[in-house]
Structure formats: C-alpha cells, structure tokens
Structure 1
Amino acid sequence: MIKIAMIEDDLELADVLTQYLKQFNMEVTNYEEPFLALSSLRINKYDLIILDLTLPGMDGLDVCKAIVKDFNIPIIISSARSDITDKVIALQLGADDYLPKPYDPRELEIRIKTILRRFNHSNVQEETNNKTFILDSDKREITKNGTYIKLTAGEFEVLSLFIKREGFIISREDIFENSDILNQDYESTGSLAVLINRIRHKIEDNSKEPQYLHTIRGMGYKFTQ
C-alpha cells in the first residue's frame, strides 16, 4: 500500500482524488491545515506528498521548504496558481513535480508512479553504495569495499546467498536447496564447514573472530554488514 499525504483545502477535490487513487493501492490522508500536516509527518510515514500552494495560514511554498528541510519525501505540487515564478521556485526548493490545476486524475496517478519508481531506485542505489560487500550477479562478481574477491564457483554461490539474505539465519539445508553446484558430498563429509571457513578467510579481517559471517549454533549461519 502506497501511503500519500495530501495537503489540500479544497475538500471536494481531495475526496475525488482520494477515491480515484484508492483503486491503485494508494491510501491518501488529506490535511486541510498545513501546520497539522507538518506535525503528522513527524509521526506517520508517507511515501509521497501532494501539496497545494494556496493554503490557510501558511503559503504552500513555505510548506514545501519546510518539508524538504526536514524530510526525505517526494513532493508533487498540485496548484491552480498559473504564475511561472511559483513553478520555478517550487522546483528550486526541491519539489519533484508541478501539476497545474485542473488536471485529469489519471495524469496524477502516472506521475506518482513515475516519481516513486525513480525515488525508490535512487534510495536503493544509495543504500547499495554504502554496503561493504556488493554483489554483481550478471558479472558473477563480489567486491569488498570496491576490491574484487577471488572466489571458486561454490564459494561465490554460497556468499551470494548470504548477501541476498543479509540479516537472516540460513540453515545448511537452505544452502543446498539454493545451490546449483554444491552436492550432498558437502553435507555428508562436513565439507560445507570447510567451504564456509575458506569464505571467511577471504572476507574477514580475522577469520577466527568473524565480523560478517557468523555461525548460529544449531541453526546455521547469518551474514551481516
């Protein structure tokens, strides 16, 4: 469910847009008062904001400035103000889009989806860039702080699985079920433990005191970074 905060004092329009967007799995909460909206943003989590510029008690451009200053939420300006200066200022302040009224709700729906797709991709990319280990499945490469780690096929498969399921405990059975290379010889001879140990030697500063790849006794392994 996409959660949207709308700051709009035209309650009839707000109701029309709320009902329309609902069919696209978008839940809209409208705030007629901008100060109430700003207070709510500190308590509730929203994926996007639809902001009118002509509001009671506070100009929409000031609301936009306050949101950009304190929150990382995409903003679509929805306004009947036709002055190009308002549009330029809004975009300069950090709004992501400007939709002049009147408009077809279908256009708003498309713009919401486009902005969220771009915004979410940007956030995922930023989060990935901050990781110590980066998995490139297409190139079948794993890097640590930008440095390529030389791995055997089996080591790559297992470490890839750990990176994809970071923070979750993975049992021995899970490793075999998700591997196209490992076979039952690993399980029967204890060679899986040897393979895990080889991986630790390649990724840990001290393999005897692992920082990333942990053994969870009686359950399996957990990878964190």
Structure 2
Amino acid sequence: MQQPHPFAQSPATDRAPASVRVLVVDDDPTVAEVVAGYLARAGCTVDRAEDGPTALEQAARNRPDLVVLDLMLPGMDGLDVCRRIRESAPVPVIMLTARGDEDDRILGLEVGADDYVTKPFSPRELVLRVQSVLRRTRPGPATQPLAAGGLTLDPASRRVTRNGVELALTLREFDLLAFFLQHPGRACSREDLMREVWGWDFGDLSTVTVHVRRLRAKVEDDPARPRLIQTVWGVGYRFDLAAGKEG
C-alpha cells in the first residue's frame, strides 16, 4: 500500500483573493502536485513548471500574480529564475529551499524573493504565506502620499519616486518603506518589523535585515552611511525624519 506523502495533510479552507494566478515551479512532481492542489482548493488558478526555462516561458505567456519557486532546478537554478522574473515585472516570489544553509536563504532574498519556506513544510503554512503576500498586493484604503528625504510613496498606486525618478521596489521593500514613512522617529526592532510588515509573529529575522539592506541601496545617497534608515544599536532601525527634511 502506498504511503502518503509527508506533505499531504487536510486541505486548507482559507480562500485566496479571487482570480489569482500562481506559478508553481518545482522539479519534484509530488511536491508540485501537492502545492498546486492546496493552492487550487484555496481559490487560485495554478500553472506549473518543472525547470527554469519553462518557468520563464510560462511567466511570459500567463503573467502570474505570484510565483512559488524551488531553489534547486534543472537547467537554471531558482536564483537565476527569480532574477529574470524580477527584471521583467514586480511579481512577488516565495522561494522553496531544501537547504539548511542560511546563506542560500539570504541569496534568495538578495535577488528579490519576498519570502521563503524551507522544505519539508506544511502546505497549509505555504498557502497562508501566499495569502499574506497577495493581500499586500491588493490596494488598501485610500491614503495620502507620503513624502520625506526626496522620497514620495503613493499607497494607492504602489509607486515610489526618489527625486522624481521612479524606484523599482519589491513588494516587501515597498511595504517596509511605507511603514518607516508612517512611523518616523520610531525605533523598531526586527521583531516589530516582522510582525507589522510581514504579518508574522515568528520567522527568520535575517529576512528583515536583508530587506533593510536592499531598501537602503535604493533610497540612500550612501547605503554604507545611511541617513534615512538608521541603525539603532541593540534595538533595530529608525527612519530619521530630520535627515529626510534636510534632504
């Protein structure tokens, strides 16, 4: 008698936003089938690809609202696929990795992944993470644009400009900057940011560190000596409104 796959659990009952298309990229057919099944039952339209080149073709043909992407793929690894996808469109990416090495997870975040899940994982947890990311891509209540230090952030259109030039921010980078602009002068721990921006009460705090570093590279004059997003030693980070006004 065939043993159940370790990922096979009771179906998730939570529903994703309507008309959401998710691309699942994994060369393990069992994992891909289980993940696709859970996402479909959560209300998503699911496309699948088993390798990097096919994933890029699928993404170009049917632009996904989100990509669930395995790190280890034949033909082209997940890092290259993520990088290529991020070059063409600001599509959210959740990366899957079977590796325990923190460097691999950080590499995924550095090339633009919005989140990651380490195998083996609960399909229900993955669905919840997908839903969390997708909720943040949907327009929220209308609010006024935020501005400081040459930066202007429009929550309605999810666009950011710096000195009049539009910035290419990932989903998480946008949300992180919006939070900083909404709470100038507040010293925020990485746990605070994980909870408020990612919507999780737990998680790998290096995720926050990497996204702060990526955001600084885009909004600071000198990322090595940040003036806007300052480090508060022993606490976390603070958006310095005084520095913003000077800018």
Task: Report the TM-score when normalising by structure 1.
Answer: 0.54
1:109 aligned partner: 127
Question: Where in structure 2 are the equivalents of 1:205-224 lying within 5 Å?
Answer: none
Is the 2:79–2:108 Cα contact (8 Å) retained in structure 1?
A: yes
- Deviant stretches of 4+, over 3 Å: 121-124
Q: 1:128 to 1:106 in 2, by over 3 A?
A: closer
Q: How does 1:167-186 map to 2 (within 5 A)?
A: none
- Larger helix share, 1 or 2: 1
1:75–1:124 CA distance, 2 compared to 1 (3 A): farther
3-state SS in 2 of match to 1:16: helix
**Does the alignment pair 1:98 with 2:116?**
yes
Q: What does residue 201 of structure 2 align with?
A: none
Quick check: 1:125 aligned with 2:155?
Answer: yes
Q: Does 2:108 match 1:78? A: no
Question: Which of 28, 42, 54 is the aligned partner of 2:60?
Answer: 42
1:59 aligns with 2:89: no
Change (3 A) 1:124 1:16: farther
Between the two structures, name the one with larger relative contact order (CA 8 Å, sep ≥ 6). 2
Letter in 1 for 2:130: I
Counterpart in the other structure of 1:30: 48
Residue identity in the other structure for 2:45: E
Counterpart CA distance in 1 for 2:159 and 2:93 is: 25
In the alignment, residue 11 of structure 1 is paired with which amino acid?
P
> Counterparts of 1:104 and 1:124 in 2: how far apart (Å)?
36
Unaligned 5+ segments in structure 2 are: 1-18, 141-152, 161-247
Give the paired residue count.
Answer: 130
Q: What amino acid sits opposite 2:75 in the alignment?
A: G
Match 1:10 to one of 14, 28, 37 = 28
Larger-Rg structure = 1
Distance in 2 (alpha carbons) for counterparts of 1:19 and 1:64 = 23
Equivalent in the alignment of 1:21: 39
Structure 2: how far apart are the matches of 1:48 and 1:12? 20
- 1:162-210 deviation line (CA, Å, top 9, x unaligned): xxxxxxxxxxxxxxxxxxxxxxxxxxxxxxxxxxxxxxxxxxxxxxxxx
Which whole-Å deviations, capped at 9, do the CAs of 1:37-76 have from their partners, x for residues lacking one? 1022122121100000110011111111111111210000
**Partner SS state of residue 45, structure 2:** strand
- Uncovered stretches (5+) of structure 1, i.e. residues with no partner: 131-225
Q: Which amino acid aligns with 2:54?
A: L
Q: Aligned letter for 1:20?
A: Y
Task: Kindly report which structure 2 residues correspond to 1:118-197, keeping only aligned pairs within 5 A, or say none.
Answer: 118-121=136-139, 125-127=155-157
Distance in 1 of aligned mates of 2:38 and 2:65: 17
User: C-alpha deviations, 1:68-101, integer Å up to 9, x for none?
Assistant: 1112100000110211101111111110001000
